[in-house]
Amino acid sequence: MKRILVLILTLCLLLSCFVGCKKKKNETPTGESSSESTTESSETTTESSETTTEEEEVYAYTHPLTGEPLKEPWSGHIVAVMTNNIEKSMPQHGLSQADIVFEMEEEGSITRNMALFSDLSDVGPIGSIRSARTYFVSLAAAYDAYLVHCGTSNHAYGGKYDQSGHKVSNWKDIDQQHGKNTNYFYRDKDRNNAGYGWEHTLFTSGEKLYSAIKDKAQSVPTGENGDFGLQFADDVVLNGEKAESITIKFKGTRKTGFEYDAATKLYKRIQHGKDSIDGNTNEAVYFKNVIAIYTKQWRCSCGSSHQFYNTIGSGDGYAAINGQIIPIKWSREDVNSPYTYTLEDGSPLILNVGTTYVAFAGEKYPIEYK
């Protein structure tokens, strides 16, 4: 009996040793075997990460005013804002966020800007706001834009465009002067307190213009087809003459200059002998592309001294991109057509992706550059 008991105890001892030496399921190995397993796992992970590459996003569309890549076709509303350009009204606000800025002469040897905005979401104050002329009405029509201004010449209000017979009908108008759209404008109190003239205190903003468009927008957005006659590419090379300093002269004494920054590949705008500053950022205003076109301009012979430009037809000009400048041609078929820019051989002018400045310069005062 004792022998049987001893055998049973011995058997139990052996079984307990066997169970104690067996690894649990999913238990991490220890010692040398654990180190080898961890290293192997690490190498596998590294190899996996090396073979995994992130797919680059492909943008099938471009913005019609700047050439910036887009995932979807651009469809929205453009506003064209008339801004003051005389020295007493400086600084201007909002121009650094405009897609295209036009500069044209008015009476008294002064110039005025029309700034095109296609995105108002991040635009702050814009101004100061001034009156328009018939040729600015025509320019806005080229982009099917809402023209934001405070008054205009009697020719535009009377339905008469200019002495060349060009007329803009049913143009999109956001005018502050006659009390129709006062909610979309405001007088800047700081300017008023600082002694600015009353005519230099009228402003609008991205938020207010967004409300204006929301209230007035037609069922079909501006630029439904996404084409305003412009073509773009990155790092355009013109193979032209050196143009790191540019001076554009208008018919009067007014001049606008540009200085090229090779590091940023941008042209800094110079006004009244100083950097053109955006009052919203207190920084200089830059452009990727600078264009000057020449066209007929004259004074009205109908009893007023209003200035006129021929904004339709064709003519010569210059384009400066990436520190170089070349002669170009411009054309526009009618008031409902955009502007087309070509090289002298008729091939399209390719602009740098980014913002553009366009001057309607005086024919007798050729552009200067060096």
Contact by Cβ (8 Å): 62, 350: no
Q: Where is pLDDT greater, at 162 or 231?
A: 231
- Both structure tokens of 298: 């004259």
**Residues 188-202, mean pLDDT to the nearest whole number:** 95
Q: What is the pLDDT of residues 89-105, one digit of tens each?
A: 999 999 999 999 999 98
Name, in order, each residue with C-beta under 8 angstroms of 12's C-beta and a sequence gap of 6 or more.
none
Which string of b and e fits 135-164 if b means at least 16 CB within 10 Å? bbbbbbbbbbbbbbbbbbbebbeeeebbee
Lowest-confidence range among 30-34, 52-56, 135-139, 189-193? Answer: 30-34
pTM: 0.82
Q: How far apart are the first and last CA of the chain?
A: 119
Q: For residue 211, give the H/E element and its range.
A: helix 206-216
Confidence of residue 47 (pLDDT cuts 50, 70, 90): very low
Among the four given CATH numbers 3.40.50.740, 3.50.90.10, 3.40.1180.10, 1.10.645.10, the one describing domain 62-369: 3.50.90.10
What CA–CA distance (Å, rounded) separates 314 from 298? 17
| Model pLDDT, residue 158 | 57
Contact by Cβ (8 Å): 311, 135: yes
Name, in order, each residue with C-beta under 8 angstroms of 303's C-beta and a sequence gap of 6 or more.
none
Confidence of residue 66 (pLDDT cuts 50, 70, 90): very high
| Model pLDDT, residue 73 | 86
| Model pLDDT, residue 56 | 62
| Model pLDDT, residue 36 | 42
For 8-15, the CB contacts below 8 A with 24+ separation are none
| Cα separations in angstroms, 227 against 138, 157, 196, 207, 340 | 18, 29, 40, 26, 11
| Model pLDDT, residue 64 | 93
Each domain of the chain, given as residue ranges in start order, spans 62-369
Confidence of residue 2 (pLDDT cuts 50, 70, 90): very low
Q: One-letter amino acid identity for 311?
A: T
Q: What is the pLDDT of residues 263-292, one digit of tens each?
A: 999 999 999 999 999 999 999 999 999 999
Q: One-letter amino acid identity for 178?
A: H
What CA–CA distance (Å, rounded) separates 230 from 246? 23
| Model pLDDT, residue 275 | 96
What CA–CA distance (Å, rounded) separates 168 from 129? 22
Q: What is the pLDDT of residues 347-364, one digit of tens each?
A: 999 999 999 999 998 777
Contact by Cβ (8 Å): 140, 177: no
| Model pLDDT, residue 32 | 40
